[in-house]
A and B are shown apart, each in its own frame.
Chain A
Amino acid sequence: MHEWALAEAVIAAASQIAEEEGLREVTEVKLKVGELQNLELDLLEFAFSQLKPIKFKNAKLNVEMEKAEFKCRVCGTQWFFKRNELDSSSSEAIHFLPETTHIYIKCPKCGSPDFEILHGRGVLLESIRGVK
């Protein structure tokens, strides 16, 4: 996912939670980001700092990266994502649309594109902290 679009989405979601929880100031936003997103964390933090509203002025963005792991639905093989085995255009496509993983990656044992992404896809807003 695009870093700026993600920062905007994180702020929208965190603002909604802050509103529901009656926080007047948000001090921390905790994210879990899958490796498949191929995010540039510096760019994400920069986008977050540029887009954050007043309520978030002292908010720190904490990002935990999660390694991507796959399991083949056909033969059961489990393996980890290795970005350096992809060419730049496949890597770019996966960055924008992680589901294209099923196009550019195949099971290393049987070659099937039908595998489960066990971990490392998507972005989750784990928690926010703030002052009431």
Chain B
Amino acid sequence: MVDPRTSIIDDRLRDVNRIIAVSSGKGGVGKSLVASTLALTLAAKGYEVGLFDLDFSSPSTHMILGIKGVQPKEERGILPPVIYGLRYMSIVYYSGEYATPLRGADTSNALIELLSVTKWGKLDFLVIDMPPGIGDATLDLMRFIKKIEFLIVTTPSQLAFETVRKLVSLLKELKIPIIGVVENMKMNSSSVIKEKIRRLGVEFLVEIPFDPKVEEAIGDVNKLLNTVLAKKVNDVASKIVK
């Protein structure tokens, strides 16, 4: 017996040039903000971009982008609506504002379902906002998406770095490409994390200072694109498209 859904995933992503999973070892490091801003920045550079929120238990990119009252279209599958130039897909279309209490097998099933029904079409970049850690969603993406690359977000916290170290080690062992690491919410000039990241043999992409204005920009794309975070993410985007 075969689950037929997994046979179509490759085909659904055939015309997507690069698939970037924005990931972290821990939650609360600003991964969804970096993923949303990166997707917007790449779209502003003229690329065809999709944003896929895979954080099923705590989706937040729809709040960051201020998306409300939108539903995907059905056309021999699901067509993600285009919002702020992004083809946007999230579990919130189906879960609304309710809590989504999913165990591991449910997470895998939901992920396979969305990967097999969503018709992204031709994209230069698909940015995926991952749940934190190396749980089911991360393992499933590695299993189903052969061309996946990881962009990792950490904070200056040693605790966050320790989980990043484990994530990097797993990805390297599995020979999965790592674009680099972003150090977010930086509050001083310490270069400890930068050095540690370099010692892992991974590119240190950028430091993003802690910016209290980011909170005010939640739900307002124009404000978001004018934050220091967006300027720094623009540097990351420039490195990615090189």
Contact = CB atoms under 8 A, between A and B. Distances in A.
A10 B8 CA distance: 8
A5 B8 contact: yes
A8 B8 contact: yes
B8 A100 contact: no
A97 B76 contact: no
Given A4-B76, A5-B78, A93-B95, A99 B113 contact: yes
Contacts of B102: 99, 102
Interface in A1-60: 1-2, 4-6, 8-10, 12-14, 16-17, 31-32, 47
Interface residues of A, number: 34
A2 B78 contact: yes
A125 interface: yes
Interface in B82-103: 91, 93-96, 98-103
B117 A114 contact: no
Interface in A66-103: 93, 96-100, 102-103
In this complex, the member of A4, A97, A98 whose beta carbon has the largest number of chain B beta carbons within 10 angstroms is A97
Contact of B76 (A5, A121, A123): A5
B193 to A, nearest CB: 36
A6 B4 contact: yes
Contact of A2 (B3, B6, B107, B117): B117
Contact of A96 (B94, B103, B109): B94
A21 to B, nearest CB: 12
Contact of B2 (A5, A93, A100, A124): A124
B113 A9 contact: no
Contacts of B1: 32, 124-127
A104 B101 CA distance: 11
B106 interface: yes
Contacts of B96: 93, 103
B3 A113 contact: no
Contacts of A5: 8, 76-78, 116-117, 119
Interface residues of B, number: 34
Contact of A103 (B7, B100, B119): B100
Contacts of B56: 99
B109 A99 contact: yes
A12 B7 contact: yes
A18 to B, nearest CB: 12
Contacts of B109: 98-99, 121-122
Given A97-B110, A114-B101, A124 B3 contact: yes
Given A12-B8, A99-B113, A114-B101, A4 B77 contact: yes
A122 B77 contact: no
- 10 smallest beta-carbon distances between A and B, as pairs: A13-B7, A4-B76, A13-B4, A9-B8, A99-B110, A5-B77, A12-B7, A93-B94, A9-B4, A5-B117
Interface of B: 1-8, 11, 56, 74, 76-78, 91, 93-96, 98-103, 106-107, 109-110, 113-114, 116-117, 119
Interface of A: 1-2, 4-6, 8-10, 12-14, 16-17, 31-32, 47, 93, 96-100, 102-104, 113-114, 121-127
Given A2-B77, A96-B94, A125-B1, 15 more contacts: A1-B113, A2-B117, A4-B76, A4-B77, A5-B77, A5-B78, A12-B11, A13-B7, A17-B2, A99-B109, A100-B100, A102-B100, A123-B3, A123-B4, A124-B4
